[in-house]
Amino acid sequence: MKNVLFVASEAVPFIKTGGLADVVGSLPANFDKRYFDVRVMMPKYNCMYQKYKDMLEYVTNFYMPYNGQNVYVGIFKTQWDGVTYYFIDNEYYFSGESAYTTDTKWDLERFIFFSRAALSAMPLINFRPDIIHCHDWQTAMIPVYIHDSFQAGDFFRGIKTVLTIHNLKFQGTWDVETIQQFSGLSDYYFAPDKLEAYKDANVLKGGLVYADAITTVSSTYAEEIKTEFYGEKLDGLLRAREHDLRGIVNGIDYGTYNPETDPFLEHKYNAKNFRKEKIKNKRALQKQLGLYRSDNAFMIGIVSRLTGQKGLDLVSYVMDELCNDDIQLVVLGTGEEQYENMFRHYDWKYNDKVRANIYYSEELSHKIYGSCDAFLMPSLFEPCGLSQLMSLRYGTVPIVRETGGLKDTVEPYNEFEGRGTGFSFTNYNAHEMLGAIHYAHNVYVNHRREWNKIIDRDMAADFSWAVSARQYQDMYDWLRP
């Protein structure tokens, strides 16, 4: 039996800001329980839903030296979907209104605390991991600590570490002095072949140097990040570690995302009856959002963090051209003000065609996946992307840019061979994107039988966790034969 402990900053159902939470909250339940005991450790945020806070049971507490003080660390736990979750409690660090703040320095203090506290808590929970599996910069200090002081005691000796990159753009960077103070690490670690990068200290880089294995969330992204364009200035290091780097594509939870049982859908449907049933959801959504009522309007959905990563500059550039057609655009997302306001503007300008829902809503997201004809995701870069997988599952045809996980999970439609699950374009160019949308629209209007066959293939595609969980298991076995 191998013990694996995920340490991460978010997990559904407790808290979610993006795809990381979906992954950490659904992958652990998919391992072969005869051979792997996989558990999760995360912060106990005060902003978690009350319902979940009420589930937590107190384990113990201790005090830990941190940033010049002796700091309280509480440990809580609960079970969810057959998986044990541990929570690290400290009100000073985790009582804010959201998991992350806009103050990078403060977040560094919070998550270096979390990483240190997580390690210090491990000997107290009756679960010694063989492998600690870290996710993104928030927990990337753990492999560094394991290399450093935590090797001293017997408990940590021989523990292997994995670091998964969900998004290379976020690295946890600040000046050396500050990170040194938070981490308590010696000068030795603040050199250009360790945590230092371009004169600053970089937490993710530390993890990438010291983790025994590195993964990222699709094969294409694993290749891309070794190049300058996608490498976010760490491509050199990633090339140097390429033998320890692999891409394992994400899955989604096929129980939560299932059009046949989804409680958020007025009209449930499946691969057999979608032709008759799915349109009813589209009508309901047109009514709910006050869009013009039409079965034939080509309804496109976007559910996304509204940031530069997601290719929204392309959308902004051709909005008027797009809205000249018989299309409808339903947007759900929050993020950078420029994009929020851009969609609000077009919502005002084309009020019966465009709806900008600038907030977070699990319910509306499911309704969009279960009602729209197509789903647009023209990302500048995309480590994996889960929204397109949700769209496939709901028979909502993805239109994507060929990058990262989008390239690995959406097969472009080929009208001559009758293949493909979506529409795609290569270059980061607004008119190339518009071309792909027009092509999809044309198939939708003029070749409806072909369109429905695309949906058949979408709903038959399998992006549940089974295959990817096996790849993680193989990696754990390779690390600890």
Q: Supply the minimum distance, in Å, between the C-beta of residue 224 and ligand GLC.
A: 12
Which partner in ligand GLC, ligand ADP, none is near 202 (CB below 5 to 8 A by kind)?
none
Beta strand segments in 9-107, E: 36-43, 57-66, 69-80, 83-89
Does 304 help bind ligand ADP (rule: CB under 6 A)? yes
Instruction: State which of residues 3, 13, 16, 18 lies at the interface with ligand GLC (CB under 6 A).
Output: 18
The pair phi, psi for residue 331, each rounded to 5°, is -110, 135
Q: Supply the minimum distance, in Å, between the C-beta of residue 100 and ligand ADP.
A: 12
What is the DSSP pairing of strand 69-80 with strand 83-89? antiparallel
Does 403 help bind ligand GLC (rule: CB under 6 A)? no
Q: Is residue 4 within a helix (H) or strand (E), and if so which, with residue range?
A: strand 2-7
Instruction: State which of residues 382, 420, 421, 475 lies at the interface with ligand GLC (CB under 6 A).
Output: 382
Beta strand segments in 254-338, E: 298-306, 327-335
Q: Count CB-CB contacts under 10 A for residue 1.
A: 8
Does 334 help bind ligand ADP (rule: CB under 6 A)? yes
Does 390 help bind ligand GLC (rule: CB under 6 A)? no
**Whether residue 383 has a cis bond before it, omega within 30° of 0:** no
Does 371 help bind ligand ADP (rule: CB under 6 A)? no
Cβ proximity to ligand GLC: between 27 and 195 the closer is 27
Does 311 help bind ligand ADP (rule: CB under 6 A)? no
CB 117 within 8 A of CB 90: yes
Inter-axis angle of helices 104-121 and 176-183, nearest 10: 30
- Tell me the residue number closest to ligand ADP, measured at CB: 19
- The span of 115-123, 384-392, 423-431, 445-453 binding ligand GLC (CB under 6 A) equals 384-392
Q: Is the dihedral of CA 444, 307, 87, 201 positive or negative?
A: positive
Instruction: State which of residues 26, 220, 365, 371 lies at the interface with ligand ADP (CB under 6 A).
Output: 365
CB 165 within 8 A of CB 381: no
Which partner in ligand GLC, ligand ADP, none is near 362 (CB below 5 to 8 A by kind)?
ligand ADP
CB 371 within 8 A of CB 300: no
Which partner in ligand ADP, ligand GLC, none is near 361 (CB below 5 to 8 A by kind)?
ligand ADP
Does 384 help bind ligand GLC (rule: CB under 6 A)? yes
Rounded CA separation 443/454 (Å): 10
Does 166 help bind ligand GLC (rule: CB under 6 A)? yes
Does 360 help bind ligand ADP (rule: CB under 6 A)? yes
Beta-bridged to residue 87, according to DSSP, are 42, 76
Residues near ligand ADP (CB under 6 A): 18-20, 22, 303-305, 332-334, 360-362, 365, 384-387
